[in-house]
Structure 1
Amino acid sequence: MPVLSGHGEQSGQVVLLNGASSSGKSSIAQRLLVDLERPFFHMGVDMIGAMRSPSRTHALDSAELAAVLRRTRAGFHRAVAAMAGAGNDIIMDHVLSEPWRLRDCLSVMNGIDVVFVGVHCSLDELQRRELQRGDRPIGTAADQIHPVHAHGIYDLELDTSTDTVEDCSAQITTFLGRTPTNRAFDRLRSAPKP
């Protein structure tokens, strides 16, 4: 159920694209910015990470780096929630590969209309894209492919190894034109905790 922002406006909508690294989330988000009729902002976890000073991050040991990355991701969730809370529509691309990330999003986005989209891609295609990109450790996508979708509940699921970016954007656009029903985030919030 959308809430009113501090300015008396209804909160914005969040289209949360979740998938492994190299699955095509950012490409879909960029296409949606062109295709959607109302203005959306694209906020991606990689964009937030790119704001961090790289020279300082490289000097951290593994425990310190893990703490910085956790704070970064928690801050990202809150930044998206704040933008939506101010009435902005957001396309959020993320890798929910650790259970706490989804739990945190469920908590901080309570009261915001979140359309949860699973972005799938075959392992062979993920590996091909990862090699082509060359900007992340080889095997990152393979390590994420199962944990990122472990919760198993979405409003809409796409497969970028069989559908084009344009097709994926069209599917999301069509879905957004429907009357909201019981959203995946609502079902996940009410699911029994393990």
Structure 2
Amino acid sequence: MSKLGKIVILNGTPRSGKSSIAITIQNTFEGLWMNLGVDHFMKMTPENYQPGIGLRPGGERPDLEPIIIQIYKAMYESIAAHSRIGINVVVDVGHHDRYSVPRKILPNCARILKKYPVVFVGVHCPIEEIMKRRKDTWGTGYAKNGAIPEPVKRWQHYVHIPGIYDLEVDTSIMSSDECAHLIHQKLKDLPSQTAFQLIGGIE
């Protein structure tokens, strides 16, 4: 049996810097690192099921939620399959449970990888910086009245629940290289009880 490939899961809001960290990991870590993140799964999802696992918090599309559960399971089973044959995997994702009803997707996904070498990373970024990046990237920012849009606030609140991580980084004060360096060190020194083992025990 091949040595298990290492797994890094980056969890945070859109525009928090997850993708930049993932690219740095792929370009600088030893060995082959495949990116199985949310953007790639969204690209594979047919238009009538969009945004798939990119669905934002708020319970806006209960009709999609059973499909989202299936896609997340497929994503994590794919991560496990890559690891089993010795391929390293980095995943950038935004987990939340603010659907029309609680779906417990993160605990169920964590149980799939409970025996795998996973580093679960909380990627934080203050909402003011998120707004700046949204405007710089997409040309959209604050509402007409100057308020932060409700979907942005919901992402900021719900993506880090329950807040159990092996490592947390703040991309407003750290570069992607600095974040990747900390992740690399954590991979060398995994705790006996990882965040995914703890999260997988949540009912």
TM-score w.r.t. length of structure 2: 0.79
Contact persistence 2:111–2:197 (CA under 8 A): no
Q: CA RMSD in A?
A: 2.5
Percent identity (aligned): 29
The CA deviation at 1:71 is 2.5
Is 1:150 aligned to 2:161, yes or no? yes
Contact persistence 2:111–2:196 (CA under 8 A): no
Which stretches of structure 1, 4 residues or more, deviate above 4 A after TM superposition?
Answer: 135-139
Is 1:133 aligned to 2:137, yes or no? yes
The CA deviation at 1:183 is 1.5
- Deviation string, structure 1 residues 10-61 (Cα, Å, up to 9, x no partner): 322211111111111111000111121122111101110111122x336xx9
Deviates more, 1:19-28 or 1:66-75: 66-75
Measured in 2, the distance between the counterparts of 1:177 and 1:135 equals: 40
Query: Partner residue of 2:40?
Result: 47
Q: Which of 98, 118, 123 is matched with 2:122 structurally?
A: 118
Q: Which of 6, 10, 15 is matched with 2:3 structurally?
A: 10
- Deviation string, structure 1 residues 122-148 (Cα, Å, up to 9, x no partner): 011112222333299965442112221
Deviates more, 1:132-141 or 1:167-176: 132-141
Deviates more, 1:174-183 or 1:117-126: 174-183
Q: Could you say what secondary structure the match of 2:169 adopts?
A: strand
Contact persistence 2:107–2:199 (CA under 8 A): no
The CA deviation at 1:187 is 2.8
Matches within 5 A, 1:20-169: 20-54=13-47, 56-57=48-49, 62-98=61-97, 100-134=104-138, 139-169=150-180
The CA deviation at 1:118 is 0.6
Measured in 2, the distance between the counterparts of 1:18 and 1:179 equals: 18
Q: Could you say what secondary structure the match of 1:64 adopts?
A: coil
Measured in 2, the distance between the counterparts of 1:84 and 1:78 equals: 10
TM-score w.r.t. length of structure 1: 0.82
Unaligned stretches of 5+ residues in structure 1: 1-7
Measured in 1, the distance between the counterparts of 2:6 and 2:200 equals: 18
